[in-house]
Amino acid sequence: MSQFKSGFISIIGRPNVGKSTFLNRVIGQKIAIMSDKPQTTRNKVQGVLTMDDSQMIFIDTPGIHKPKHKLGEFMSKVSKNALREVDAIMFMVNAQQKLGAGDEYVIEMLKGSKTPVFLIINKIDTIHPEEILKIVDQYKEKYDFAEIVPISALQGNNVDNLLNTLKKYLPEGPQYYPADQVTDHPERFIISELIREKALHLTRDEVPHSIAVEIEKIRRDEETDKVRVMASIIVERDSQKGIVIGKRGAMLKEIGTRARKDIENLLGSKVYLELWVKVQKDWRDRSSQLRDYGYRDDEY
């Protein structure tokens, strides 16, 4: 029998290319939040895929962009750090987007790395198959990729093939995590992210980027088996607070209803969710508040 294989695989690329969508698809569970807004992912999120003959640990990272504040700098560090000490790197691009300065920047980061880099052309469901070859040619000129794999993370096209190819690049190794563990993050983190996701989906412009979520309390009521979650949505200005609360609280109620459904799915029990909105002026540029909201420099 062949030996068990295991290893770490980083997923990097510009914002919005579908990194978290891919992670959730292969893990078969929502552990990383997704949205059509750029810069959705802010922390490193590890997803563990255990099979009979292998264990792949995927590392989802924040989309690489030019930081405009301390939060952006933190995100950028997280992404860069994820390139170290992994067995393979998936550089994901969006088939709909032209190879631009953002991709060139990522390619520069990859130069000098000894780790095999896969070019993943995602969202192929949105283009004509003939276009794929053109994209492949453009990227081939820029870097010597170990493999080039077109996929649709949303629809699942070619994802199994990608997993089989990745497996070939993994060394023989131990099973790092128990087979039933899908992520390294505690439930508390995922719950706060699910709330942030709903707030992201329902707001626009600068508001989604200005939101953080802080869990105040999670308590299971032994008698009813209901879980009570108390959380605050943090924004940067009073005007944003007004938007997140909405007319007669309608927006906050909608965020709560949507988040509660996802949290119930995650926990497998009924949830009672209480949300507040707080203003912390310019929190994205304040080190101590970044730490409070889970963007800690020592945790990437």
Ligand X SMILES: Nc1nc2c(ncn2[C@@H]2O[C@H](COP(=O)(O)OP(=O)(O)OP(=O)(O)O)[C@@H](O)[C@H]2O)c(=O)[nH]1
**30-59 positions binding Mg ion, by CB under 5 A:** 40-41
CB 199 within 8 A of CB 211: yes
Residue 150 token pair:
């077109």
**130-169 positions binding ligand X, by CB under 6 A:** 152-154
User: Looking at 12, 17, 135, 194, which residue binds ligand X (CB under 6 A)?
Assistant: 17
**112-131 positions binding ligand X, by CB under 6 A:** 122-123, 125-126
d(CA 46, CA 217): 24
Q: Going by C-beta distance under 8 Å and a sequence separation of 6 or more, which residues neighbour residue 135?
A: 93, 95, 99, 121, 150
Size of site (CB under 6 A) for ligand X: 23
Binding pattern to Mg ion, positions 11-30, x when CB under 5 A? --------xx----------
Closest separation in Å from C-beta 45 to Mg ion = 8
* Segment interacting with ligand X, rule: CB under 6 A, options 15-23, 44-52, 99-107, 259-267: 15-23
Q: At 230, is the secondary structure helix, strand, or coil?
A: strand
**In 141-277, alpha helices (H):** 159-168, 187-202, 238-245, 250-267
Containing 24, the helix (H) or strand (E) segment is helix 19-27
In the complex with Mg ion, which residue's Cβ is closer, 40 or 232?
A: 40
**31-50 positions binding ligand X, by CB under 6 A:** 34-36, 38-41
DSSP 29: S
Which residues of this chain interact with ligand X, rule CB under 6 A? 15-21, 34-36, 38-41, 62-63, 122-123, 125-126, 152-154
Which residues of this chain interact with Mg ion, rule CB under 5 A? 19-20, 40-41
